[in-house]
Amino acid sequence: MASSFFKKNLEFLFVIAHQHLMPSRILNEFKEFISRGNVHDVAIGVLIGATFGKIVNSLVNDIIMPPIGLLMNQIRFKDFFLPLDGNHYASLGAAQKAGIPVINYGNFIADSLQFILIAFVIFAVVKVINILKKNAATPFATAPTKTELLLTEIRDEFKKHSPHL
C-alpha cells in the first residue's frame, strides 16, 4: 500500500515537473530575464567592481603596506604564521614546503586590512557620487525669462489697482 502511495506521488511530481520545467519555457524565461536592462547594469557593475578590486588591491599591497612594514621594522604581515607541529620555521614558504599545517594569521590580518580599505574607498566613492547627484538635482538659479518678467509686471500692476487680491 505504501509503495503505491509513493508511486502515485512520484508520477504526480514527474507530471508537474514536466509541465513547469519544459526546456522551451525555461529558455523563454531566461531570454526575458536577460533582456531586462537591470541585468546588463549588474553585469557591467560586476566587471567594473572586479577591475576596481585589482586597483585597490594594488593600492594596499604596493602603496599602503610597505610604509606600515617599514614602521614595524620591515615586518610583512603575510609572514606571520603559526606552525601546528610546534617547531620553528624560517618562513611560511619553508613550513609549507615541509608539508606542515600552518595558521596564516598574518595573511588574515593583511586581507582584513585590505577589506577595510576597500570598504572605505567604496564608501568615499559613493559619498562623492551622492554629492554630485544632489548638486545636479538642484538647478542653478537662472535669470527669469522675458515671459516671467512680463507676468510679474502684470501681477504687480493688478496688486496696485486691487489691493484686496
Residues 55-58: contacts with CB under 8 Å, at least 24 apart: 56/114, 56/117, 56/118, 56/121, 57/114
Q: How many CB atoms neighbour CB 121 within 10 A?
A: 15
Picking from 60, 50, 69, 45, the residue whose alpha carbon sits closest to that of residue 121 is: 60
> Phi-psi bin for 143: left (phi > 0), alpha (psi -120 to 50), beta?
beta
DSSP letter, residue 83: E
Read off the pLDDT band of 37 (50, 70, 90): low
The predicted structure's pLDDT at residue 77: 76
The x, y and z cell numbers of residue 8, run together, are 502515485
Picking from 90, 92, 63, 87, the residue whose alpha carbon sits closest to that of residue 77 is: 92
> Phi-psi bin for 73: left (phi > 0), alpha (psi -120 to 50), beta?
left
Read off the pLDDT band of 54 (50, 70, 90): confident
146 and 88 Cβ atoms separated by less than 8 Å? no
The mean per-residue pLDDT over the stretch 44-73 comes to 79
pLDDT of 2 above 60 = no
The predicted structure's pLDDT at residue 76: 74
pLDDT in tens, 112-144: 887 887 788 778 878 888 888 887 766 666 788
- Is the whole-model pTM more than 0.85? no
Q: What is the residue whose three cell numbers read 612594514?
A: 69
Helices (H), 36-141: 37-58, 65-71, 92-97, 105-137
